[in-house]
Chain A
Amino acid sequence: MIEKPNPLLQVEDLRMHFKLKGGLFSKAKFLKAVDGVSFSIQKGETMGLVGESGCGKTTVGRTILKLYHPTSGKVIYDGNDITEYSDKEMFPYRKKMQMIFQDPYTSLDPRMTVGSIIELPLKVHNLYQGKDRQDRVRELIQMVGLKPDHINRYPHEFSGGQRQRIGIARALAIEPEFIVCDEPISALDVSIQAQVINILEELQEKFHFSYLFISHDLSMVKHISNKVGVMYLGHLIEYASVEEMYQNMQHPYTKSLMSAVPIADPKKAAANQRVILQGDVPSPIHPPSGCPFRTRCPHAKKICEDQVPQLKKLNDDHMVACHLLS
């Protein structure tokens, strides 16, 4: 079952529209970064969110953490609707929800030592006192595979992969339950990517974290996720368990996205039937009417122009938003 009762995190019809500067007399325009996304994540589960750049996957992650105030929709964490919570009310939830950022070069303060970077969340939440806190920082550093003598060094002394580990240690410091991983490996080399993914998996086994794993690397998402959502132009167009998604994908966009992934195996690559899409993703400021994908869809019909397809259940493990499938 893709939707089980009592999820840790539930997102209902989430919308995030950014207001763009309008002229004095012209109407303000809106960038519909996220336009009606619903899904849920269980404890200890990893949900992968994939899509091309600009599809709104990062915005979903940030809106869940209330780094943006959503235009409409609900974010329900552990049974509590946190959508309208003030910063003060959010504070206890900050301890439970953390984030690992994409770029390990800009997400660490260059003027803080590694020790103080990892210690900061402990200070903010007033956890562990005195010597215990230092021990905790040391423990965290070792947990992510760095050495205790790295504590007094600065971020610039580390490589990209090591910096990403510092980011992970910082996110783990206050023992969160839910972590948004926003493209945590895309800035890293292949051999280092596997190291970071393994750390994330080991920590999940140990502490039963839930991850929202945002990535454009479809093979890595397949590897790490229990279920996968595919986004296009702010819409969740297909949502299924990982087995269903990769064996029985239905949406024409998902099919072309998956077939475009390069396969690191020359024989399989030669046999791969690619569905190459024409053109680029339309602008989210002027999205097409009806189905967001219709301008690039090889099967688009009249109905696709008129109506926005809703996410419908195909079977217990699989939901898809396409007129042609219902």
Chain B
Amino acid sequence: MSDEKNNLLEVNNLKTSFHTSDGIVRSVRGITFHVEREESLGIVGESGCGKSVTMLSIMRLLEDNAQLEADSILFDGEDLAKKTKKEMRPIQGNRIGMIFQDPMTSLNPLFTIGEQIKNPLKRHQNLSGKEAQKKAIQMLELVGIPDPAKRMRQYPHELSGGMRQRVMIAIAMCCEPELLIADEPTTALDVTIQAQILDLMKDLKKKYHSSIILITHDLGVIAGVCSRIVVMYGGLIMEEGTTEEIFYQTAHPYTAGLLASIPKDTKEKLVPITGTPPDLLNPPKGCPFAARCKYAMKLCKEVQPEFTQLSTQHRAACWLLHPAVKQKLGEVKIR
């Protein structure tokens, strides 16, 4: 484990469920992870694996039908899980910034770009109108928007997708947050624009000494940006480790499956993961991946595997790694 003092965020046993007309959907089912200061952590997983819900839980932006349980969500020593909505205000958008997936819907169409950037500056930094105006123009310039003074007066629909995402980044970074949460920030963008946005995020992270949590389903994006990765599936963490460990010493069959699904440089046939992710209305009793796993044993379907620590940073939740199973089956090669 890493030095605890150096952790900006520590999430301990977070569980989030939603009460719906169909029953209780257990989106996040007890996850523990941390974010160090000035690091970029990547969270990968398929749609519905709980990665976005995790972030909304940390930000306390869940809807009314959601229920959040956690031993603690420590942000710089303060427990966010115990805060009221009002107490969260000075943190949301100020000390933790957030970028959402869809720049088309996350900006308010009724307000100009300028008003939307000035809003957090006035609220959190107590800047006067003039100061906020100046800072907002600076921010737009910083995120690479040409002619920022003119853009300040424009509405979101007048900008392209890439430009809107830059504005979102300007809003998220204007209060110089310690933590930036980016939820699929480039999924809706073209590859050339994606490259621009990712570079911009890296530059701003360096400039403001922020930490980043990058949520994505794209292993390519993560490989280029993050130093550490958390792999989620069915509301649980499957594997966690440094980027090198996840890519080159893959320990969990799900991570291996994800890596095998993406085309390599050769014409080799892709190896898909058969089946579909579990329904979190009735989450499986054992390992959530058991139903799709090539190596699943009887045990996997019955009991949720515990984490096996593989190095100081690397751990995976899979029965194949358990010492007792290893003794019986020997080393199972998953790649």
> In the complex the two chains form, is B274's CB within 8 Å of A195's CB?
yes
Cα–Cα distance between A125 and B199 once the two chains are bound (Å) = 53
> In the complex the two chains form, is A265's CB within 8 Å of B247's CB?
yes
Interface of A is mostly: helix
Cα–Cα distance between A107 and B270 once the two chains are bound (Å) = 26
Cα–Cα distance between A162 and B276 once the two chains are bound (Å) = 9
> In the complex the two chains form, is B220's CB within 8 Å of A192's CB?
no
> In the complex the two chains form, is A195's CB within 8 Å of B196's CB?
no
Q: For chain A residues 40-56, which have a beta carbon within 8 Å of chain B?
A: 52-53
Which residues of B lie under 8 Å from residue A269 when comparing CB positions? 220, 223-224
Whole-angstrom distance from the CB of B105 to the nearest CB of chain A?
A: 17
Which residues of A lie under 8 Å from residue B193 when comparing CB positions? 52, 280
Q: A194-B271, A194-B273, A198-B269 are in contact. Are A52 and B220 (CB under 8 A)?
A: no
Instruction: Indicate with 1 or 0, residue by residue over A106-147, a CB within 8 angstroms of chain B CB atoms.
Output: 000000000000000000000000000000000000000000
Asked if A21 CB lies within 8 Å of chain B CBs, one says no
Which residues of B lie under 8 Å from residue A159 when comparing CB positions? 276
> In the complex the two chains form, is A191's CB within 8 Å of B273's CB?
yes
Stretch from B16-24, B256-264, B324-332 contacting the other chain? B256-264
Asked if A277 CB lies within 8 Å of chain B CBs, one says yes
Whole-angstrom distance from the CB of A187 to the nearest CB of chain B?
A: 10
Interface of B is mostly: helix
Interface size on B, residues (CB 8 A): 41
Whole-angstrom distance from the CB of A49 to the nearest CB of chain B?
A: 15
Asked if A256 CB lies within 8 Å of chain B CBs, one says yes
Stretch from A73-81, A168-176, A215-223, A303-311 contacting the other chain? A215-223
Picked from A53, A190, A216, A260, the residue with its CB within 8 Å of the CB of B258 is A190
Q: A159-B276, A195-B272, A223-B263 are in contact. Are A266 and B192 (CB under 8 A)?
A: no
Most buried by A among B244, B263, B265: B263
Q: A191-B258, A265-B247, A276-B199 are in contact. Are A260 and B272 (CB under 8 A)?
A: no
Which residues of A lie under 8 Å from residue B211 when comparing CB positions? none
Where the two chains meet, the residues of A that have a C-beta atom closer than 8 Å to any C-beta of B are 52-53, 159, 161-162, 189-195, 197-198, 201, 216, 218-220, 222-223, 256-257, 259-266, 269-270, 272, 274, 276-277, 280
13 contacts between A and B (CB under 8 A): A189-B47, A190-B46, A191-B273, A194-B270, A216-B190, A219-B220, A257-B191, A260-B195, A262-B223, A263-B223, A264-B218, A274-B195, A280-B162
